[in-house]
Amino acid sequence: MNPILWKKPPAKLSISRSELHVWRVHLDQVKDQHKYLISLLSPEEIKRSERFIFERDSYRYQVTHSMKRLILGNYLDCDAQYLRFEVGNYGKPSLASLQNALNIQFNLSHSHNLILIAVTRADSIGIDIEYYKKKLSIESLAEIIFSPLERKFFSELKSQQERKKVFFRCWTRKEAYLKAIGTGLTQDISKISVDLSEFSVQDWLQVPTLSKTENTQWKLFTLDMRNAYMVAVVATAFQCYLTGFDLNILHE
């Protein structure tokens, strides 16, 4: 895996059908913009943010969804607070079709101090980020989320460091895939097998499925960020190039 180069975003955003943009937001770098960001949220989003028990979780939700609005509004040349969203059968959000002439798809993920927002014009997109310095019983979790084939691969690894990286590689690839198809973790994650090898930044993700009509080939981007975060992005686009943007704020 090669490191992604994070760029400063241009003043005016555009995205072609062959592009995939990933936006990185550092939670601690937008605190001075918090009041402005809250003003972009819908009443429903504000109510939901108030349901969190811990203030940090509420703040993360507010930043994630206000940044989502800022970014998508810039692509669509629409005021962020006026964007409307629809929810799929399993809870995956999408832009309201009447506002989405460009067929922009997006997906969100966060872990620890980072938020990632993936944007594309492909039919489906999923992203997952995990902070792999957190303490987890990866052997126990692997028994739950790994398929038999994956458990065999995992058990043959000798180094604990490599086992940890492979665990998070599997976790992020599976979750990004499930988010791309729109089911999320409502589907039994152990019934899906993904390749656990260390790909380059972009490769193909082969996912065997029971349905012959379902797309089994997905473009996979794997990012190992600062030796602390593992990221997987899965999209349906056959020709897709990833650009990373580092975002503090999108207004003057």
CA distance 38 to 28: 15
Residue 218 banded pLDDT, cuts 50, 70, 90: confident
Residue 218: beta bridge partners? 205
For residues 1 and 192, which has the higher predicted lDDT (pLDDT)? 192
CA distance 220 to 242: 10
Residues 6+ positions from 13 with CB-CB distance below 8 Å: 71, 74, 75
99 three-class SS: helix
Residue 3 banded pLDDT, cuts 50, 70, 90: low
Provide mean pLDDT across the span 187-198: 80
Q: Is the pLDDT confidence value at 100 over 80?
A: yes
Q: Tell me the pLDDT of the chain averaged across its residues.
A: 86
What are the tens digits of pLDDT across the range 19-62?
999 999 999 999 999 999 999 999 999 999 999 999 999 999 99
What are the tens digits of pLDDT across the range 115-161?
999 999 988 899 999 998 778 889 999 999 999 989 999 999 989 88
pTM of the model: 0.90
**Listed range (165-169, 199-203, 233-237) with the worst mean pLDDT:** 199-203
Q: What is the 3-state secondary structure (H, E, C) of 27-45?
A: HHHCHHHHHHHHHCCCHHH
CATH of domain 6-247: 3.90.470.20
Domain boundaries along the sequence of the chain: 6-247
Q: Is the pLDDT confidence value at 89 over 70?
A: yes
Q: Is the pLDDT confidence value at 69 over 90?
A: yes
Cα–Cα distances in Å, from 174 out to 120, 188, 205, 209, 232?
19, 10, 10, 13, 9
